[in-house]
Structure formats: structure tokens, C-alpha cells
């Protein structure tokens, strides 16, 4: 199976900006955010997923 998934450890400023940049460039099919702070990765993933709906290529953004 050929799946282009990126996992980002840390959903702070740098991690969330990287996730947004990956989504905007359309270089992957799935982005998974992971963070030690409960709920932070899920919140960032939801924000990026909302903005990704306006991008030309579909990308699944979720917390892992």
C-alpha cells in the first residue's frame, strides 16, 4: 500500500505551522499530530483540517 503519511511530534507553534505548510503544498495524503499535552494535538488538527477544506488537494488531518 502506498500511503503518504506525515507524523509530527509536537503540536505547538512549529509543529502546527509545519502541518499547515504540508497541507497547503499538498505533498501528503494524511497528517497526524501528536503532543504530550492532552487535547492540544486534537485542537490543532481540527483547526488545520478546517482550513484544509479550502485547499486544492484533499488531506486528512488528525490527532494520533
- Average pLDDT value for the chain: 92
Sign of the alpha-carbon dihedral angle for 17, 20, 22, 25: negative
Q: Does residue 19 contact residue 8 with C-beta atoms inside 8 Å?
A: yes
pLDDT score for 55: 87
Mean pLDDT of 35-48: 95
Task: Compare 1 and 64 and report the one with higher pLDDT.
Answer: 64
Cβ-in-10-Å burial (0-12, 13-18, 19+) of 64 comes to middle
Main-chain phi, psi angles of 53, to 5 degrees: -65, -15
At 52, the pLDDT band (50, 70, 90 cuts) reads: confident
Amino acid at each position: 500500500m502506498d500511503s503518504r503519511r506525515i507524523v509530527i511530534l509536537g503540536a505547538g507553534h512549529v509543529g502546527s505551522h509545519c502541518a499547515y505548510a504540508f497541507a497547503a503544498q499538498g505533498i501528503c495524503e494524511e497528517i497526524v499530530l501528536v503532543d504530550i499535552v492532552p487535547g492540544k494535538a486534537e485542537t490543532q488538527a481540527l483547526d488545520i483540517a478546517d482550513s484544509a477544506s479550502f485547499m486544492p488537494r484533499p488531506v486528512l488531518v488528525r490527532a494520533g
